[in-house]
Structure 1
Amino acid sequence: MSMGIIHSVIFSLTHEKGSSEEIQFLEEGKLKLSSIPCVNKFQVFRQVSQKNEYDFGFSMVFETQLDYEAYNVHPVHIDFVANRWDTEVKQFMEIDYKEI
């Protein structure tokens, strides 16, 4: 059985590494985004490879394309992007994929 759609984003923040602002961003991201009903298996990662310049990752799973679309327009997601992501994320890369 397919896992659905895996939505991942890797990113770096404008905050100093290890700062309370950095921790608050990650905690609030997890709290708010995982509260959206169609979000499954929300995870927060610290990137450890020296092969890229990103610091963190968020990953979540959606059962269907409709769930993924609902997430993108959900008020909690829109608010987090507008009030935290757009002002505190320095760089990011997003990937959405499905199991073959």
Structure 2
Amino acid sequence: MDNEQIIHSVVFSLKHEKGSAEETQFLQDGKSLLSSIPTVNNFQVFREISPKNNYDFGFSMVFNNREDYEAYNAHPTHVGFVSSRWAKEVKQFMEIDYGKLD
């Protein structure tokens, strides 16, 4: 299990007005900063299109293994983004981490 690939996803809504410059900047900064962390692969930003939930956006990324995932969580860029931006600008979120079943 420690060597299996992990897909890390988080869906969220921002405190900013929809379509605002602040919303756009947060998404751009999140992509730029978080995708720069060496263990992050295939970083993607999504806009929620389903009426089945109350979230507006999603970030998704892939890690080669648990060690890379833990390195991301402890990386100063991630820690700084969470404390300086995420904690202040995100209204609600749900995080999901996937590993292959088979």
TM-score by length of 1: 0.97
Which residue does 1:88 correspond to in 2?
89
SS of aligned partner of 2:50: coil
Matches within 5 A, 1:59-98: 59-98=60-99
Determine the C-alpha separation between the residues in 2 that align with 1:90 and 1:57: 13
Letter in structure 2 aligned against 1:38: T
d(CA) in 2 for partners of 1:12 and 1:3? 30
The separation in 2 between residues aligned to 1:91 and 1:53, in whole angstroms, is: 9
Query: CA contact under 8 A between 1:3 and 1:61: conserved in structure 2?
Result: no
Alignment root-mean-square deviation, CA: 1.2
2:46 corresponds in structure 1 to 45
Identity score, percent: 68
Q: d(CA) in 2 for partners of 1:94 and 1:25?
A: 18
> Which ranges of structure 2 fall in alignment gaps of 5 or more residues?
none
- Amino acid in structure 2 at the alignment position of 1:56: F
How many residues are paired up?
99
| 2:58 counterpart residue number | 57
- List gaps (5 residues or longer) in structure 1: none
**CA gap 1:39/1:13 in 2 versus in 1, 3 angstroms:** same
User: Stretches of 4+ moved more than 3 A in 1?
Assistant: none
TM, length-normalised to structure 2: 0.95
Match of 2:5 in 1: 4
